[in-house]
């Protein structure tokens, strides 16, 4: 405390003396410091000039308008609840392709290396500088990001150097993937429609077989009725009362069931009905078969529609909206300011070390 009283001289510590001496030494060697900074600045500038320039190409892809996807709608056959007759009914619903569904399929596809691998088989080797890209190259050059709810679009980016394929590669891949996604969705719908068509045909065949089985049972009943009518000698339609008064054959009918028997129609009508039913045995037609046949015709028509779409050229309505034919290109510059600042700091440190080493060697030489 006494050292800080007025009139007392402050005693300078050894640490403070060392710092002052260090500062004076560095100031005395300013030329060396300046030379080191200049040398490292020159090295930094040279590295910036010689560094490889990179470019980034980007294309925005947005979901397509709903009306552009009208051709991709499909028919779905759905079973409704059974009515009072316990007969199932069917309804056909047209299901469209939503812009979000198409966009998600496109995003999935374009970000998949297997899709890019198919793409590079379709272009000339010169467009890839005679190389076949592997998955790591694809990941390092391409990126695909979405903007979230506020920006539903996708930004496809391609980073490349002057000695690599230029931005045209990105444009080709973006448009090719749109066509590929369209083809995949059409193929999926063709397969789904074919499955539904097979299911409808199986259902129709099942209904027909049920009808045939029912007719066979009716034929069997007719055969039995014809044989009974022959035994009883009934050739023409008669009534149970007339037959009962016939005398000898009364004992053939018992328990009061004869009045409902089919053989009272007589052999002539029964045989005619038998022949008619037998000749149309395989021709089962009712409301259910008519409905199934119409749905089969609709599914076949839809399949032809999908096939026609698949054969269309690339000018057909795409499933996404590629906002531009040519990508936006920007240079990816090196951070020159950070490099130069680092060079200045490194030059100061190296210069200071040189000054301090020279001073240390000078003292050692003087001591000797």
Residue 97's domain comprises 52-333
In this prediction, residue 118 carries a pLDDT of 94
pLDDT at 256: 46
Query: Which residue is listed with tokens 């007759």?
Result: 85
Domain-located, residue 240? yes
Exposure string of 129-161, with b = 16+ CB inside 10 Å and e = fewer, is eeeebeeeebeebbebeeeeeeeeebebbbbbe
Please state, in angstroms and rounded to a whole number, the distance separating the CA atoms of residues 315 and 179. 9
pLDDT recorded at residue 248: 39
Residue 266 lies in a domain: yes
Phi, psi of 303 (to 5 degrees): -60, -40
Domain shared by 179 and 318, yes or no = yes
pLDDT at 68: 78
Residues 269 and 143 in one domain: yes
Helix residue ranges, H only, the chain: 14-28, 30-50, 99-110, 113-122, 135-141, 168-232, 240-244, 267-279, 287-310, 336-367
What's the pTM?
Answer: 0.59
pLDDT at 89: 57
Task: Looking at the structure, tell me whether residues 172 and 288 fall in a common domain.
Answer: yes
Same domain, 263 and 312: yes
For residue 242, the Cα-to-chain-centroid distance in whole angstroms is: 79
**Domain match, 324 and 346 both:** no
230 shares its domain with 243: yes
Is residue 1 situated within a structural domain?
Answer: no
Tokens of 244: 């009962």
What's the pLDDT at 309?
A: 76
Residue in the structure block whose two tokens are 């000039």 = 49
- For residues 83 and 46, membership in a common domain is answered with no
Are residues 359 and 280 part of one domain?
A: no
Cα 174 to Cα 157: distance, rounded to the nearest angstrom:
10
Pair 39, 107 in one domain? no
Side-chain half-sphere CA neighbours of 138 within 13 A: 17
Cα(328)–Cα(350) distance, integer angstroms: 44
343 and 300 housed in the same domain: no
Any long-range contacts for 322-325 (C-beta under 8 Å, 24+ apart)? 322/59, 322/60, 322/61, 322/174, 322/175, 322/178, 323/59, 323/60, 323/61, 323/62, 323/153, 324/59, 324/60, 325/171, 325/175
Sequence-ordered list of residues with C-beta below 8 angstroms from that of 225, at least 6 positions apart, any chain: 261, 262, 263, 265, 270
Tens digit of pLDDT for each residue in 186-223?
Answer: 888 888 888 888 888 888 888 888 877 787 777 777 77
Give me the tens of pLDDT residue by residue for the chain, a chain 368 residues long.
445 455 544 444 544 446 777 777 777 778 887 888 888 888 877 776 766 578 889 999 998 888 778 777 655 555 555 555 555 555 556 667 788 888 999 999 999 999 999 999 998 888 887 788 999 999 999 999 887 666 778 999 999 888 788 889 999 999 999 888 888 888 888 888 888 888 888 888 888 888 777 877 777 777 777 777 777 677 777 666 555 555 434 434 444 444 446 666 666 777 777 776 676 666 666 777 788 888 888 888 888 877 877 777 555 567 888 888 888 888 876 566 777 788 888 888 887 888 778 777 766 655 55
Could you tell me which residues come within 8 angstroms of residue 324 by beta carbon, excluding any fewer than 6 positions away? 59, 60
Query: CB burial class (10 A; 0-12, 13-18, 19+) of residue 170?
Result: buried
* Count of domains for the chain: 2
User: Quick one: which of 160, 228, 180, 190 has its CA closest to 75?
Assistant: 190
Task: Examine the domain organization and report whether 266 and 368 are in the same domain.
Answer: no
């Amino acid at each position: 405390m006494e050292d800080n009283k007025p009139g007392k001289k402050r005693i300078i510590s050894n640490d403070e003396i060392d710092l002052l001496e260090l500062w004076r030494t560095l100031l005395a060697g300013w030329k060396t410091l300046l030379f080191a900074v200049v040398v490292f600045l020159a090295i930094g500038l040279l590295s910036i000039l010689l560094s490889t320039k990179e470019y980034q190409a980007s294309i925005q892809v947005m979901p397509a308008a709903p009306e552009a996807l009208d051709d991709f709608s499909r028919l779905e056959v759905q079973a409704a609840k059974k009515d009072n007759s316990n007969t199932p009914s069917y309804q056909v619903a047209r299901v469209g392709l939503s812009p979000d569904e198409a966009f998600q399929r496109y995003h999935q596809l374009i970000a998949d290396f297997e899709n890019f691998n198919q793409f590079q088989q379709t272009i000339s080797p010169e467009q890839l500088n005679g190389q076949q890209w592997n998955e790591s190259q694809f990941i390092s050059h391409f990126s695909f990001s979405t903007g979230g709810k506020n920006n539903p679009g996708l930004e496809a980016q391609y980073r490349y150097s002057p000695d690599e394929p230029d931005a045209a590669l990105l444009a080709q891949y973006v448009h090719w993937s749109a066509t590929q996604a369209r083809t995949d969705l059409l193929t999926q719908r063709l397969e789904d429609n074919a499955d539904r068509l097979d299911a409808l045909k199986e259902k129709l065949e099942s209904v027909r077989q049920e009808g045939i089985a029912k007719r066979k049972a009716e034929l069997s009943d007719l055969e039995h009725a014809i044989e009974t009518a022959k035994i009883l000698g009934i050739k023409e339609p008669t009534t149970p009362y007339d037959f009962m008064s016939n005398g000898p054959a009364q004992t053939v009918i018992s328990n009061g069931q004869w009045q409902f028997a089919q053989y009272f129609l007589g052999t002539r009508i029964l045989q005619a009905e038998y022949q008619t039913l037998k000749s149309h045995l395989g021709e089962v037609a009712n409301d259910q078969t008519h409905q199934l046949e119409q749905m089969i015709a609709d599914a076949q028509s839809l399949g032809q529609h999908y096939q026609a779409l698949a054969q269309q050229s690339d000018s057909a309505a795409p499933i996404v909206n590629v906002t531009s034919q040519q990508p936006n290109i920007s240079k990816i510059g090196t951070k020159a300011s950070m490099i130069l600042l680092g060079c200045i700091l490194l030059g100061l440190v190296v210069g200071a070390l040189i000054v301090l080493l020279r001073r240390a060697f000078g003292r050692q030489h003087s001591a000797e």
